């Protein structure tokens, strides 16, 4: 298994290198740079001054040099400074990552808490009212965009309950109760979306497994229904579910952009989008690489989970 892990890790190097080239290239293809954004609407800067500022920031160097410098910064774990704010990138990330991490983890917990029981219920009560409700909820989760759901939730919370999550993010460690109020609702919105695909997959795979011989044997042995479903059927049904959850993590990270904007949370999504809009190259490049590395790692973790779920699986 170790060999497998090492091989996968080595394979991730070209993937990350390719990602770095793509993000670097895309940022340069986009017209304008951080200085034009920074000087926004003033018009008081002469072309000469702008050129000097570009030189100071290294934006006038040939692209291959800029790429080389950045690559070295990434390898040496010193991604540099934000062009826009002059803040060291690790400092910006230290503030943003915990927000998104908390949001994503809560979303996964909430999503799975809803998806798996409802999926199992739908499967065990196929074509009953509860199955139809579960399927409608799942299809809604897949089809309702986050921005629309988020806007509805915040608007109707204000109108019906005269309450919305407190604006002005506080960390979990400083004010846990206030933080949970701020994060629960957006996490539920993200979780709802995540739960939809998972719910459908759980239903399908549980239905499939329930028709397997060994499950029929379990029923024939006179085992209790819960034991048959949760002990014998569910674990075997979970492999495709884990694959789906792994695949949904990318969607989840994309969803944080919208949800963080609506609920005014200062996470990675907002940091990245703002950096793209302002052409803050170092921040965008670092964030994209971080997300790429996270997804590569998560895919590996998902693959390794298979063996835990099904001991027959061997890595060689």
Q: Which residue ranges make up the site for another protein (CB under 8 A)?
A: 30-34, 36-46, 49, 53, 84-86, 95, 151, 154-155, 157-159, 162-164, 166-169, 261-264, 266, 270-271, 274, 277-279
Complete DSSP assignment for 122-180: HHHTTTSHHHHHHHHHHHHHHHS-HHHHHHHHHHHIIIIIS--PPSS---TTT-HHHHH
Helix (H) or strand (E) holding 182: helix 176-210
Cα separation of 71 and 229, whole Å?
51
Please say which residue, 273 or 304, places its beta carbon nearer to another protein.
273
CB of 284 to another protein, least distance (A): 12
Phi first, then psi: give them for residue 314, nearest 5 degrees: -125, 140
Handedness of CA 125, 126, 128, 132 (dihedral sign): positive
Alpha-carbon gap, residue 265 to 257, rounded angstroms: 9
DSSP-assigned letter for residue 230: I
Q: Are 279 and 25 in contact (CB under 8 A)?
A: no
* Nearest residue (CB) to another protein, 118 versus 253: 253
Q: Do the Cβ atoms of 271 and 282 come closer than 8 Å?
A: no
Q: How far is the CB of 103 from another protein (least distance, A)?
A: 14
Least distance (Å) between residue 226 CB and another protein: 43
What distances in angstroms separate CA 271 from CA 56, 70, 265, one per listed residue?
24, 19, 10
Which residues have CB under 8 Å from 258's CB, separation 6+? 145, 146, 147, 150, 269
């Amino acid at each position: 298994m170790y060999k497998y892990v090492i091989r996968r890790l080595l394979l991730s190097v070209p993937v990350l290198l390719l990602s770095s080239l793509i993000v670097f290239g895309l940022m340069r293809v986009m017209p304008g740079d951080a200085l034009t954004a920074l000087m926004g609407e003033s018009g008081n800067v002469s072309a000469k001054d702008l050129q000097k500022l570009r030189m100071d920031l290294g934006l006038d160097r040939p692209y291959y040099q800029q790429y080389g410098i950045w690559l070295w910064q990434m390898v040496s774990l010193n991604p540099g400074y934000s062009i826009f704010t002059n803040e060291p990138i690790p400092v910006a990330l230290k503030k943003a990552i915990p927000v998104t991490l908390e949001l994503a983890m809560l979303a996964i917990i909430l999503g799975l808490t809803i998806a798996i029981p409802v999926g199992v219920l739908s499967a065990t009560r196929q074509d009953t009212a509860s199955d139809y409700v579960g399927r409608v909820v799942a299809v809604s989760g897949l089809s309702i965009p986050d921005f629309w759901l988020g806007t509805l939730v915040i608007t109707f919370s204000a109108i019906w309950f005269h309450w919305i999550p407190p604006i002005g993010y506080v960390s979990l460690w400083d004010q846990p109760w206030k933080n949970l109020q701020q994060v629960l609702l957006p996490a539920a919105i993200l979780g709802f979306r995540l739960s939809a695909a998972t719910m459908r997959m759980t239903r399908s795979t549980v239905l499939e497994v329930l028709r397997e011989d060994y499950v029929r044997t379990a029923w024939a042995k006179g085992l209790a229904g819960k034991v048959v479903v949760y002990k014998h059927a569910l674990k075997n049904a979970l492999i495709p579910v884990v694959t789906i959850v792994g695949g949904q993590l990318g969607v989840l990270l994309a969803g944080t952009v919208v949800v963080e904007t609506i609920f005014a949370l200062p996470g990675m999504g907002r940091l990245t989008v703002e950096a793209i809009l302002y052409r803050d190259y170092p921040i965008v490049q670092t964030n994209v690489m971080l997300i790429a590395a996270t997804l590569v790692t998560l895919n590996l973790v998902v693959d390794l989970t298979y063996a835990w779920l099904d001991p027959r699986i061997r890595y060689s």
